[in-house]
Amino acid sequence: LGKRINAAVTDLTRAPTMSEKAFDGMIKEICNALMEADVNIRLVGTLRKAIKSKVKFGELAPHANKRRIIQQAVFEALVDIVNPHEKAWQPKKAKSNVIMFVGLQGAGKTTTCTKLAIYYKARGFKVCLVCADTFRAGAFDQLKQNATKAGIPYYGSLTQTNPVTVASDGVAKFKKERFEIIIVDTSGRHQQENALFAEMVEIQAAVQPQQTVMVLDASIGQAAEAQSRAFKETADFGAIIITKTDGAAAGGGAISAVAATHTPIIFIGTGEHQSDFESFKPESFVKRLLGMGDMSALMEKIQMNNGDQKPTMKNLAEGKFSVRDMRDQIANVSKMGPLSKLAGMMPGGMGGLMQGMDDEEGSMKMKRMIYICDSMTEKELDSDGKIFTEQPARMTRVARGSGTSVREVEELLSQQQMMAGMAKKMKGMGAAGQKGAPGA
């Protein structure tokens, strides 16, 4: 998606004369890309208007950086949709807060309710889980396993087949024991069925949750709107959690769900493990959707995984990013595991470089990049990389020395150049300028 938007913007800005008609054509192209990313068609219409009114093409100064202005407008319009306009519900300490999960089968409810329980446990709440899924065989076992692994008390039944009874028994028991967060996992169906909705309404009436959370699979696509609307109308929910954001789906469905139900996204699931869970950050989410790369999230991860980042951080603070910094980053990233997850956080080029590769191919690619760097001289490593374009023979030498191709060396250097460009920009904006400003 990001690529297509960038391509559309680039076409326009390259055109010798920039007519309003060309501008309209570009907006159309952006809208097509958004629709392909599963953003709902009516919503795209709204976005189109928002972008047009934000950019005010006729009023742009001749030398204005149109590319940046247009990208910023697309970015802001999308952030505006997913940005919750009200403060999210917060559980109260020393009270029983019942949180009920709803969603289709396979959406990720059972996985996510343990993740949420862990989140609150880490914040000092007394948490527990109730399994009200009596529909699917093995549902209770699954919750039991997750809960045990996380050391969280749970309730369920292998014999009671009425989910309403199990839910109310579990909630009553834990309320008596003064648990502060009681999360009720429910069953799903493959499709939105009347039986499912009837069950949700009954459980809701029985346990009187303070908060109902709808769990939505990021890959739901265009069905997101109808599905979230249907749930909203029956089992009214006050928050959304999007799961499987680590997958290949563009995630536009999530945006449609928010717009259709006016309900905020509170967390996102980023993998199958219990720790793959993040607070929802509208700007990061949209940046990833647009393929703009989420430098701040990546930097956070790098810092978390490697204390020894001082040289790069110092360089970045000065608006620099040398070839050696590039090497260090690749080395760190490859230590950090599942590449697929990291690629999305990386600004355009790097994510693109890894696109369509599985983790094994990706880590091979990273290894080759390290070999390339290790065939460079100290002087080359500490350079800003321009030395290679000035003296291309260096690239041939490095390719030969590392057993790679000149093309690969060029690829690595163009990535480093992009990072260097971003470092320079970041410095220009000040560290805080990161926020709200798309990378490239």
Interaction partner, residue 106 (ligand GDP, Mg ion, none; CB < 5-8 Å by kind): ligand GDP
Interaction partner, residue 272 (Mg ion, ligand GDP, none; CB < 5-8 Å by kind): ligand GDP
> For residue 389, which of 372, 412, 360 has the smallest C-alpha distance?
412
CB distance 130 to 166 below 8 Å: yes
Using CB under 6 A as the binding rule, whether residue 107 contacts ligand GDP is answered as: yes
Using CB under 5 A as the binding rule, whether residue 146 contacts Mg ion is answered as: no
CB of 131 to Mg ion, least distance (A): 8
CB of 94 to ligand GDP, least distance (A): 30
Using CB under 6 A as the binding rule, whether residue 270 contacts ligand GDP is answered as: yes
CB nearer to ligand GDP: give 156 or 385. Answer: 156
CB nearer to ligand GDP: give 78 or 215. Answer: 215
Using CB under 6 A as the binding rule, whether residue 246 contacts ligand GDP is answered as: yes
CB nearer to ligand GDP: give 249 or 353. Answer: 249
Give the Cα separation of 235 and 242 in Å (integer).
Answer: 17
CB of 275 to ligand GDP, least distance (A): 11
Task: State the angle between helix axes of 194-207 and 163-176 in degrees (0 to 180), rounded to the nearest 10.
Answer: 20
Give the Cα separation of 371 and 173 in Å (integer).
Answer: 60
Tokens 């952030």: give the residue: 79
Give the Cα separation of 98 and 403 in Å (integer).
Answer: 60
CB distance 112 to 188 below 8 Å: no
Q: Residues touching ligand GDP: how many (CB under 6 A)?
A: 19
- The correct pick among 2, 91, 103, 156 for binding ligand GDP (CB under 6 A) is 103
Strand 127-132 with 154-155, pairing: parallel
- The correct pick among 66, 126, 232, 244 for binding ligand GDP (CB under 6 A) is 244
Determine the interface stretch with ligand GDP among 87-95, 242-250, 258-266, 340-348 (rule: CB under 6 A): 242-250
CB of 188 to ligand GDP, least distance (A): 5
How many CA within 13 A on the CB side of residue 319? 9
* Secondary structure (DSSP) of 387-415: HHHH-THHHHHHHHHHT--HHHHHHHHHH
Using CB under 6 A as the binding rule, whether residue 111 contacts ligand GDP is answered as: yes
CB nearer to Mg ion: give 103 or 439. Answer: 103
Chain-centroid distance of CA 177 in Å reads 37
Determine the interface stretch with Mg ion among 82-90, 105-113, 148-156, 304-312 (rule: CB under 5 A): 105-113
How many residues can be counted in the chain?
Answer: 440
Using CB under 6 A as the binding rule, whether residue 253 contacts ligand GDP is answered as: no
- The correct pick among 96, 110, 112, 402 for binding Mg ion (CB under 5 A) is 110
Give the Cα separation of 421 and 348 in Å (integer).
Answer: 13
Give the Cα separation of 224 and 125 in Å (integer).
Answer: 32
* Secondary structure (DSSP) of 94-150: TS-EEEEEE--TTSSHHHHHHHHHHHHHHTT--EEEEEE--SSTTHHHHHHHHHHHH
* Secondary structure (DSSP) of 142-181: HHHHHHHHHT--EE--SS---HHHHHHHHHHHHHHTT-SE
CB of 183 to Mg ion, least distance (A): 12
Site string for Mg ion, 237-276 (x = CB under 5 A): ----------------------------------------
CB nearer to Mg ion: give 110 or 245. Answer: 110
Give the Cα separation of 316 and 303 in Å (integer).
Answer: 13
Using CB under 6 A as the binding rule, whether residue 110 contacts ligand GDP is answered as: yes
CB of 241 to ligand GDP, least distance (A): 9
Give the Cα separation of 94 and 88 in Å (integer).
Answer: 19
CB of 143 to Mg ion, least distance (A): 7
Chain-centroid distance of CA 124 in Å reads 26
Interaction partner, residue 264 (Mg ion, ligand GDP, none; CB < 5-8 Å by kind): none
- The correct pick among 105, 192, 222, 363 for binding ligand GDP (CB under 6 A) is 105
Using CB under 6 A as the binding rule, whether residue 188 contacts ligand GDP is answered as: yes
Q: Of 420-439, which residues contact ligand GDP (CB under 6 A)?
A: none
- Give the footprint of Mg ion on this chain (CB under 5 A): 109-110
- Give the footprint of ligand GDP on this chain (CB under 6 A): 103, 105-111, 188, 215, 243-244, 246-247, 269-272, 276
